[in-house]
Structure 1
Amino acid sequence: MVCIKDGINLATVNKKKFDIKSNLDVLVAFGVIGIVMMIIIPLPKGILDVLLAFNITLSIVIILITMFTTNVLQFSVFPTLLLVTTLIRLALNISSTRLILSEADAGKIIEAFGEFVIRGNYVVGIIIFLIIVVIQFIVITNGAGRVSEVSARFTLDAMPGKQMSIDADLNSGLIDEAMAKKRRQDLQSEADFYGAMDGASKFVKGDAIASIIITTINIIAGIVIGVLMHGMDAATAAQTYVRLSVGDGLVSQVPALLISTASGILVTRSGSPDNFGKTLATQLTAFPIAAGVASGVMLFLGLVPNMPKVAFFAASLATGILAYLLYKEETKQQELELALEEDELVEMERTEPENVMNLISVEPMEVEIGYGLIPLADETTGGDLLQRIASVRRQCAIEMGIIVQPIRIRDNLQLKTNEYVIKIRGTVIASSELMASMLLCMDPNGDSSEIQGIKTVEPTFNLPAVWINKDQREEAEIKGLTVVDPTTVMVTHLTETIKAHSYELLGRQEVKLIVDNTREKYSTVVEELIPDLMTIGELQKVLQNLLREKVPIKDMVTIMESLADNSRNTKDIELLTEYVRFALARTICNQIINEERAVTVVTLTPELEELVASNVQKSMQGSFPTIDPDTTTRIFHNIRETIDSVYFYNNQPVILVSPNIRAVFRKLVEMAFPHVMIISLNEIPNDIEIRTEGVVSV
């Protein structure tokens, strides 16, 4: 809406108003041209005073801006501004030199600086001027230039990674195209800034050198001109021109010192989100103990003889009060944060439904112990149960190739004092009782009655055993008995339980971890199989079938290569498992082969194999035997008699069958003979001898 008043369009008038910001670029352009003109055109003393005051004001504004910026890009024009301010100082130096040498008077500001600093002592004035120049030239400018150089190098080295990070955020949808473009521009601008600052610091160095030369010329040439042209005596000429020359140098070097300090502050800023003042205040007051220790040190120095006690005691008192106030504030802040955390917890318990999920979550595996077994898990009393359980997970990974999730240990007051239970997904799988302060003694021959103690049964292998006192250990070992501590008994029980139920612990998440680990070194094998030929779930079922029969899955490369070769022809998990077993033939036989590289087995009669092969029912869950109960009972009876009559290596019974019935026969006998290995001829390498010591018939 446009307002018309007295025939005047106010909108048009507003557009014609002079806006400083919109026309500032024109003013800057005229200003730069004016700087060049100052070098050529002589300036009156009054205008020179105004320009010198402007130069000092500009330098103060610049250093304050650098202290309030939080990012170097907020003042990215600084390298160019550094050149312009250097040019201003040089132009003012030339104009003041013209006035000093021609009129022996350069205005009130230069006069005041010379009088105030020299105070009648020209040597002191010259030394102070030189010190300021040295500080600016050697200390600040050199340091800022080095920081700029290193920052530019590191920024350029980090650019590819930062560019990839921006592209990743863009591809994932975290930022849009406009934001990605802006971040790329900021990244390039930051690299350009540090590179420009590295070169711009050379301007300040040149300005310092030029200032020394100009001041020297002013002093020498001024004395000569004063004596020869103005009729002054040497002392008067020296007094006049040294005062004016030093004042001129100070007027130009004080702003130069401020701007070089500003450049140092700007390039040394870290990635703090706050400005320099807030960051400094926050970090200096972050540790009250530092102020407290400083107060003590100042107090000690004040007590040293011949030290100025008032100064040190005042410093000690000030830092002590500061430490006390900071400590009180920190304590109050901690109490406030604690109260807020408690309020948040109460609010979460009151409102968040996710807390209910914690109540129904089930641990993959856990061990619950009674009150009397807590010392076994208490490290302060020497209990090493936690470390031993961690070693169980490593042992299972080495022997079976499975990843066992962390096993939770918790006490349960509902258990008996010395009882422990092993749970898998919340269900009790095994339990037993231990005597925490005693030792378990077992006879390798199965008889432990020769020593006095509390008779029991070893929980892992159900061997007869005796709990004995610790002072009976030497007696038991002399008799050749095996003596173990309670922790070893529990850990052994836990290990065998994990091996027996490893297929239940192998979930899709664990399979995914195994696949990812394999992918790091054998990416081609994994990419060929998953997900084009098989899913994680199908691979999980194959691995579970192997673990169910105690076949290690550590050689994942061979397993996945076999599946990749055969899964194109069939999706039958049972058949794929048999193919994998054939590929793992040496791994399977390694458990039953003796020193002579021979395998002792029991075989089936052709009639029994034919009977099993002709009574197979196919289903979605695999193949199942359909032999009648009476025949099944006779088969079990004959298997028991045959196995009992044969001596197997490592007491590991093995039945050798034809490849086509191996899986079915395993399902037939696994309930009655879970520890009997059922292998096929395909699973025995050609270089291993087969010794048949018995035959099972119908």
Structure 2
Amino acid sequence: MNDLLEFLKKIDINTLAGPVLIMLVLSMMVLPLPPLLLDIFFTFNIAISIIVLMVGVNTREPLEFSSFPSVLLITTLLRLSLNVASSRIILLEGHNGTAAAGAVIESFAHFLIGDNITIGIVVFIILTIINFVVITKGAGRIAEVSARFALDAMPGKQMAIDADLNAGLIGEEEARTRRAKIAEEANFFGSMDGASKFVRGDATAGILIMVINIVGGLIIGILQHDMAVGDAAETYTLLTIGDGLVAQIPALIISTAAGMVVARVGTEKGLSEQLVGQLFANPTVLYLTAAVIGLLGMIPNMPHMAFLLIAATLAGTAWWLDKLVAEKAAAPAAASSAPPPAIMEQPLAEVSWKDVQAVDALGLEVGYRLIPLVDRDQDGELLRRIRGIRKKMAQELGFLVPAVHIRDNLEIRPNAYRILLKGVEIGTGEAYIGQFLAINPGQVSGELQGMATTDPAFGLPAVWIEASRRDEAQNMGYTVVDASTVVATHISNLLQSHAAELLGREEVQALIDHVAKEAPKLIEDLVPKVVPVGVLQKVLQQLLTDGINLRDFRTIIETLADHVGMTQDIDELTSAVRTALSRAIVQQLFPGEQELPLMTLEPALEGILLQAVNSKAGGGLEPGLAENLLANAAQQTENVENQGYNPVLLTPPGLRPLLARFLRRALPQLRVISHNEIPDSKSIRIIAVIGGSKG
């Protein structure tokens, strides 16, 4: 006995409630019920429907009643089970009188339809039509449309959550909760769309059950119990109508609750507050309505008492609301006319650092048609590509590029995207999901029909084509890429060209901490005791600007430590580091080559430039000299590229920083190295001379 009590204590009633209820509902379909028990279950069904209606009325947003689809299914099964049980007892005991099926059915039959069976049938059919055609169909349509809109809005809502999370407005836990709520909302409306079919089917079943019970009762009463046709028709029809009304009235109540739940617009107010606050809040509307009703009441042969009473009530309510609004408006005015005591003064909220919004180091804004590319729930391909870009750049450059913060922007074109660096646009373009960009590399066998454009990453002529023409474009020599690849390539290209700007103090410190794990003594002895972090950052940025990676961080640190005591000039420190990294620089420019094909300056031009550098502290060039140098350098660079060589200019160490800065903007493909950066194991071959003839 004690063991049984301990077992019962461990049972969770909430866990058992659902299975027990389902089993009771199913058992009613197969087990005969006595009239008393049937009355209890009918009363329980009515009580459940009223509870559901009250919960639906007081629900502020649909997700507060997220179990409603399951409740709808269970209550429908309960009504059908009661229909089966009552039909059994009506057909078995109906010949004994209208009380044979229980007091509830008999009371509903006599109270609602009296002694006129025809009226009862008409009332039952009207209730069924209202439930089937109006309420249930409308609720199902609202649920269907809401489910569609909820699914369409999910990407934008997810992007908004990610934006708030990236901006630091919410935490990870709240972001996870919001995402779950969005998914649950879409699932809820989808479930409601399907659950509404239960109620419609229940209404259809109610009509069929009524016809079957009447016909079956007549056959059983007349043939088996020798009842007169009139008596059998009156008894079985009365019982059947009463049974149908007992089932359809709760069904109508629950259908109404379903319509209220799915039609609710999420606010902080309940339905009653909304109705009173929105229908009866405007006195002008009530005055106009009272005037119209009063005029109708004055028409001859109209029920004057009813119309004039309603008109007077509406006018009185409008007058009371006018008075209430006037009192509320007068209260602040009276309060402001008298100087408030100092103790009542409320200080203004102080401005805090929370009002300052940080700028993302890297940002990507997309139009709404490109949201599927960056939506996690839709397996956005661009997200994986961006992660791949950051991983590749970390391996190539030697530091971790900041994360790209992605958000949607309704102010740009639907298919457009913007790439931002510290809040400033550095690139823009358009992409079309489902289409491919056919890029003309310069040697194609024909023209493609499509939307002509320019490759945003490299500026090559291109055409947006349908997916069905992809093979055709490839056969004609075009380079064909999808929309996510277009955006990813553009991002990668811009990150490479702006790598120096991405290396802030935080990234430098993270790089130092990473190296400190492998070489703690090196970092401990040199940074920041010998090499200040600020100097280190500027040298690293200069190296990245020159296209040199930071993977050999130890050599960079050690070289700076050897030279920082002699000079603080960034150009001189950078030159020293470049000399130490000479093998890596040459390997990067000429992989696997023993003889280096290089460009050089004509000796006379070189002398003039050296004289200009030495004579002016800023290392400036005369406008005419600069223009001629740039034009000749562009021509020779094009010639070298046409020969299939990588354009690299060899200069004296003193000229390299000046020429690198001068030529970088106009000729980014032209690299400048100094004589000190050529390893002893390499030989050189001059293939072009700037300022003279080609060698």
TM-score by length of structure 2 reads 0.50
Point out the structure with max Rg over C-alpha. Answer: 1
- Bigger relative CO (Cα 8 Å, ≥ 6 apart): 2
